[in-house]
Amino acid sequence: MELWFTENQTASLRISVKASKVLEHRQTGYQELSVLETEPWGTMLALDGMIQTTERDEAAYHEMMVHVPLSTHPRPRRVAVIGGGDGGAIREVLKHPSVEQAVLVEIDPAVVEASRRWLPSLSSGLDDPRVQVVAADGRAYVQQAGQGDVPPFDVIVVDSTDPVRAAVGLFSEEFYRDVRGALAPGGILTAQTESPYLNRELLRQAFRAAAQVFPLARLYLTCVPTYPSGLWSFTLGSLGPDPLDPAGRGPEGSCRYYTPELHRAAFALPAFVTELIRP
């Protein structure tokens, strides 16, 4: 019997992928977690029925989400990833030799456990001595960061799920204000802000919120075949450097997707996306 995984991307759009095996399927304390072996995309992680990452196309997401801000900052030393329990973003952060500490703030420790078990190519960096894994709500963590026990960060990357449950607040102006407060001078935020085709209002609101909070806000794009519509956006807010004129060094080690040329090209937006974020 054939096994197919279907994600209801919207009320009228679905994506299906043929799976050869269910590696794990359970209700965590927080959400429904599935790990499947798929034919086209390799091992795939889904949460609440939504595809989060797959072995074969994750580089287009993680590399662009991380290397654009970290190559823009002149010397990123402290970096936080909010969400991102699969470890893919942290793996990329560690490709920057200036990084002294990388903090992963994931609300659901079961995601980290599952990724350590089934997705070692993503989670490999989590045992690096520079990495601290914190099980917490990213909103609360960011609120108290930048002071006392948690010194400010040079870059904060928001690698969240779609805006459901605790992730809703990660797309708000209030959260971006807290991020700003948790950044060191010249710091940078990058947040995944969903599909320009299917999440137009959310993207518009998130970008406008970032533009209210940060002196410089820019939108850039990547292409992730297993995400709804394939075209995916990131919102970058900067207290200093402009990603169009990167001040830092690029990643060391191999990348499957990111190149300096693509870094610049990613900010060239289709007309309808420019229109979407027009003030």
- x/- string (CB under 6 A) for ligand SAM, residues 219-248? ------------------------------
CA 51 to chain centre: 13
Query: Closest-CB residue for ligand SAM?
Result: 83
Distance of CA 159 to the CA centre of its chain: 3
Distance from the Cα of residue 8 to its chain's centroid: 21
The DSSP annotation for 145-188 comes to: TTBTTB--EEEEEEE--SSSGGGGGGGSHHHHHHHHHHEEEEEE
Residue type, 185: P
Report 114-143 residues binding ligand SAM (CB under 6 A).
Answer: 137-139
Q: What is the torsional sign of CA 265, 225, 248, 235? A: positive
The Cα–Cα gap between 4 and 21 comes to: 10
Contact 57, 17 (CB under 8 A): no
Known binder of ligand: residue 108? Answer: no
Q: Looking at beta carbons only, is 24 or 137 nearer to ligand SAM? A: 137
Q: 42-81 mask for ligand SAM (x: CB under 6 A)?
A: -----x----xx-------x--------------------
> Is there a binding annotation on residue 132?
no
Out of 57, 108, 154, 159, the active site residue is: 159
- CB nearer to ligand SAM: pick between 214 and 232: 232
Considering CB under 6 A, how many residues would be counted as binding ligand SAM? 24
Q: Counting Cβ atoms within 10 Å, is residue 28 exposed (0-12), middle (13-18) or buried (19+)? A: middle
Candidates 76, 83, 125, 248; binder of ligand SAM (CB under 6 A) is 83
Rounded Cα distance, 114 and 129, in Å: 20
Task: Closer to ligand SAM by CB, 82 or 241: give it.
Answer: 82
| 159 marked ligand binding residue | yes
CB distance 189 to 158 below 8 Å: yes
Which CB, 154 or 159, lies closer to ligand SAM? 159
Indicate which single residue of 34, 54, 160, 233 sits in contact with ligand SAM (rule: CB under 6 A).
Answer: 160
Active site residue 48: no
Would the annotation count 62 as a binding residue? yes
Catalytically active residues are 159
Tell me which residues touch ligand SAM (CB under 6 A).
47, 52-53, 61, 82-86, 105-108, 111, 137-139, 159-161, 166-167, 170, 192
